[in-house]
Structure 1
């Protein structure tokens, strides 16, 4: 049985879809990715993943429309921030590959993958282990039922 997304987060996705801001297949892909993250134990809600949801839907929709996603200003500062979060970068790259396969898009540019990794790092910090001040430990595979996020 497929678990439901939190009502407010599902409403965010529905509004993007119904307003025509994103294609239906993008909304469906993002819903699936959010469920995947939730199954992996990350706290997926409007509060924790709302910005991730909006950012990913808009980026994938722009990519499908052939629009540029390049952001040269993101470079060095983001790379330095993400150096300490290889798990988030790995998750972002995996998500990018799944989007490419599921939607037939070009790969997400490195800067866009970095933004996605930043959102995922914040989400991981809010996970169950975050209460102990640890967050999701790097190097620990985030997996449930044999499935990685």
Structure 2
């Protein structure tokens, strides 16, 4: 993982935006995705995914829901990404690991956002 992305994680933890255990978990997931997706572990490719996952897990930890941030349109857009290989598996793996390691259950609505970020990661990784 490159320094710019690591700095994002440090800021989230230092500013109290995400619990240390969540930051450590997201770091682990980003490193796994870097290998799995064969994508650069940098700010450009993984920054938005990192922030979303940090904030989503922190929301779940605090017992908050998405509120009006989620709409059926998000689900429709996420559904179009099923043509990209491995996205559903990766999202499922992240949800399972969050439950196992953090005892946090990401709701299905968060999986839609996760799929969108994973899709963007894959598409950015394919750019020349």
TM over 0.5: yes
Q: What's the counterpart of residue 66 of structure 2?
A: 69
Q: Which among 27, 45, 52 is matched to residue 48 of structure 1?
A: 45
TM-score (norm 2): 0.87
* TM-score of the superposed pair, with normalisation by structure 1: 0.75
Q: Which portions of structure 1, spanning 4 or more consecutive aligned residues, are displaced by more than 6 angstroms?
A: none
1:19 is the counterpart of 2:15: yes
Structure 2: where are the runs of 5+ without partners? none
Q: Which of these two proteins has the greater Rg computed from alpha carbons?
A: 1
Higher helix share: 2
How far apart, CA to CA, are the structure 2 residues paired with 1:76 and 1:17? 30
RMSD: 1.8
Q: Which of these residues, 115, 118, 126, is aligned with residue 117 of structure 1?
A: 115
Q: Is the 8 A contact 2:29 2:94 kept in 1?
A: yes
Q: 1:82-119: CA deviations, max 9, x gaps? A: 2323521221111111011110112x122211111111
| TM superposition shift of 1:123 | 1.1
For residues 102 and 94 of structure 2, the distance between their equivalents in structure 1, rounded to whole angstroms, comes to 12
List alignment gaps of at least 5 residues for structure 1: 133-149
